[in-house]
Structure 1
Amino acid sequence: MRAMLPTAVVNLVDTASAVVKSTLAAHRADLRTRSHGIAAFDPPTVPHEVIPVVTADGARLRVHAYGPVDAPVIVFAHGWTCSIEYWNAQINAFAGEYRVIAYDQRGHGESTNGYAKPSTNLLADDLCDVLDAALLPGQRAVLVGHSMGGMTLIAWAGRYPERVAEQAAAVVLTNTGAHSLVEVSTMVPGLNKPLRLLRGRALPSPDWLGKLILGTPVVMPPVAPVRWIFARQVMTLDTSRQKLDYALSVVRGCPMMTRSRYGLLLAALHLGDAATNFTVPTTVLAGDRDDMTPAIHAERLAELLRRAGTLAAFKVLPTGHLGNVERFDLFNAELAEVLTAATEPARAMA
């Protein structure tokens, strides 16, 4: 196919591809080397170990382990368009006392795509590979998932329920949901009311609209309108410049096609009641101004867990979608409580 194209077109495509790769590399390097004005977001100073993970379909996952190898373990699964660096405020806070494992979801950060089509089962399988590579025999971890990372944890519990008690000591689900993301989204003001009206008239489901919003491979140039839209739709308009710059650097490091492929996956997400398979204490956190996964998603998860008898806590924080960035202080305090509850019994027996 490439040989059939005119030389000028081939050269243009090659040049554009080189520019995109260079830009992505620059954003990732920025996260690893530059301070964003808030110490919590600085690149971790704790040395990390690289854990090699190759999936069955050939994806190479970037997995980092921070902190003592024999310490209690935390595993972080990031959300759509993010990377390991999204968790800097948590890595910096907990890597001294805990063994912190963080990884790039496939196609994100520096993890490759592999050959399989994106699916929640695939993300669950990747988490299995990470846990198998990172945990010592008999070791259990506190699993923390944000947005698509939370969906990964839910998918994992649904697909591998026997692993929950074996490998999880506790679970934290933050700014996430299990289904109907488009139907109850408030990203486009006034959108969900007409969607409900359309459904009430038994018209075809407007899935195309969700796919258009989440699946379009858009660029995010460093201009004021993009910053305003990102603050309004993903964070909050009163978020600080430093937090906004940091979050944008994380998201801009994600390839456009990865954003599109996994956006389409999220638009069709349906994990049902798989969260009831969490047989360990599970904390659910939401943001009161989260337009991507409004708090109703967290309420639904909390109700499922309450009925299953495993809901440890449900709280709504004063944030948008990026709760552990926008109010990392509050998020870290909640996580510290979970860690204490999950690890103190084991330490008392040691």
Structure 2
Amino acid sequence: MSQTNDQFIATQGGNLRVRVEGPQDAPALVFSNSLGTTLEMWDAQAAKFSKDFRVVRYDTRGHGGSVVSPGAYSFDLLGNDVVAILDALKIERAHFCGISMGGFTGLWLGLNAASRMNRIAVCNSAAKIGTPDGWNMRSAMVREKGVAAMKELADSSPSRWFTEAFIAAQPAVVQRAQAWIAAVNPQGYAGCCDALAGADVRDQIAKIALPTLIIAGSADPVTTVADGEFMQQHIPGAKLAAVPASHLSNLEAPQAFDDALSQFLRA
């Protein structure tokens, strides 16, 4: 029997908004959103993969309908949120696919909760994203300027997230993505920036023993193909797929993204 619903799952410090779709007895597949987006970024993937998987997607803490807990976040917190979701849904093991910030959550799970994972797909991400100074500056700006800062980030996000050709060809998709980031709670966004500021597992990822897929956008200026190659070289047996897209590759190149993910999950 298939089910589609939004539910709120209790975690440390508050509830997370979770949506579950697909057959209840199918293998579980968790999707984790990027910084500044919501679980709706996975609409196309959920429609496709929920035919064969029990698709679980959620708004990362601080985003969408999930709790905005105060203070700085960490990937220990964000990763344990995923474990709490699995526990609440009585899912022993799941596949995991995360993009950008969600991809780093996948690395954390591979290192800290491998017994709960089958395979991890780390998309448009890196073992260290950006610089601590850059994230700390963004976090401080968003805390200080609030909603106005989120509007500024929304205005500038297309050039970070999509290629110029895609921006010109698909304005509705771009505007929808801008609306997600504009609506994110500034305190929640800042908390996730703090998590990213402290996130560096370059010297740890060789310990990941799970089957791992890395998806990189060939035109991604944020997390580059070189970042993907570094992870592939250091995670034993990892596979790398480059797709013709910028940073939100599941939105810009859904066919190539879905093909790479599907092939990996069925291997």
TM-score scaled by length of structure 1: 0.68
- C-alpha distance in 2, partners of 1:286/1:280? 19
Q: Which of 36, 40, 44 is the aligned partner of 1:89?
A: 44
| TM-superposed deviation, 1:47 | 4.8
- C-alpha distance in 1, partners of 2:40/2:94? 20
Q: 1:332 to 1:180 in 2, by over 3 A?
A: closer
1:250 aligns to 2:177 (yes or no): no
Q: What is the aligned length?
A: 257
| TM-superposed deviation, 1:213 | 4.2
Two-structure CA RMSD over aligned residues (Å): 2.3
Q: Who is 1:29 aligned against?
A: none
Q: Who is 2:86 aligned against?
A: 131
Contact 2:37 2:64 in 1 (8 A): yes
| TM-superposed deviation, 1:118 | 0.5
Contact 1:51 1:134 in 2 (8 A): no
Find the structure with the greater CA-based Rg. 1
Contact 2:98 2:122 in 1 (8 A): yes
- C-alpha distance in 2, partners of 1:215/1:262? 12
Q: Where in structure 2 are the equivalents of 1:160-171 lying within 5 Å?
A: 160=112, 163-164=113-114, 166-171=115-120
| TM-superposed deviation, 1:214 | 5.7
Question: Which amino acid in structure 2 is aligned with residue 80 of structure 1?
Answer: L
Q: Which of 203, 216, 236 is the aligned partner of 2:163?
A: 236
- C-alpha distance in 1, partners of 2:154/2:73? 27
- C-alpha distance in 1, partners of 2:134/2:96? 33
Identity across the alignment (%): 25
* Residues 66-85 of structure 1 deviation map (CA, whole Å, 9 limit, x = unaligned): 01100121111111111111
Q: Where in structure 2 are the equivalents of 1:32-71 lying within 5 Å?
A: 47-56=3-12, 58-71=13-26
Q: Where in structure 2 are the equivalents of 1:1-350 lying within 5 Å?
A: 47-56=3-12, 58-114=13-69, 117-136=72-91, 139-158=92-111, 160=112, 163-164=113-114, 166-179=115-128, 181-182=130-131, 207-213=132-138, 215-217=140-142, 218-220=149-151, 227=155, 229-239=156-166, 240-305=170-235, 308=236, 310-311=237-238, 313-341=239-267
Specify the SS of the correspondent of 2:184. Answer: coil
Contact 1:77 1:145 in 2 (8 A): yes
- C-alpha distance in 1, partners of 2:126/2:74? 16
Contact 2:4 2:19 in 1 (8 A): yes
Contact 1:174 1:285 in 2 (8 A): yes
Question: Which amino acid in structure 1 is aligned with residue 204 of structure 2?
Answer: A
Question: Which amino acid in structure 2 is aligned with residue 329 of structure 1?
Answer: Q
Question: Which amino acid in structure 1 is aligned with residue 151 of structure 2?
Answer: M
Contact 2:8 2:16 in 1 (8 A): yes
| TM-superposed deviation, 1:148 | 0.6
- C-alpha distance in 2, partners of 1:249/1:226? 7
Q: 1:294 to 1:213 in 2, by over 3 A?
A: farther
Specify the SS of the correspondent of 1:216. Answer: helix
Runs of 4+ in 1 over 4 A off after TM superposition: none
| TM-superposed deviation, 1:230 | 2.4
Structure 1 segments unaligned to the other structure (5+ residues):
1-45, 183-206, 342-350
| TM-superposed deviation, 1:260 | 2.4
- C-alpha distance in 1, partners of 2:101/2:90? 22
Q: 1:97 to 1:323 in 2, by over 3 A?
A: same
Question: Which amino acid in structure 2 is aligned with residue 219 of structure 1?
Answer: M
Contact 1:121 1:156 in 2 (8 A): no
- C-alpha distance in 1, partners of 2:47/2:191? 31
Q: 1:64 to 1:274 in 2, by over 3 A?
A: farther
User: Which structure features the higher share of strand residues?
Assistant: 2
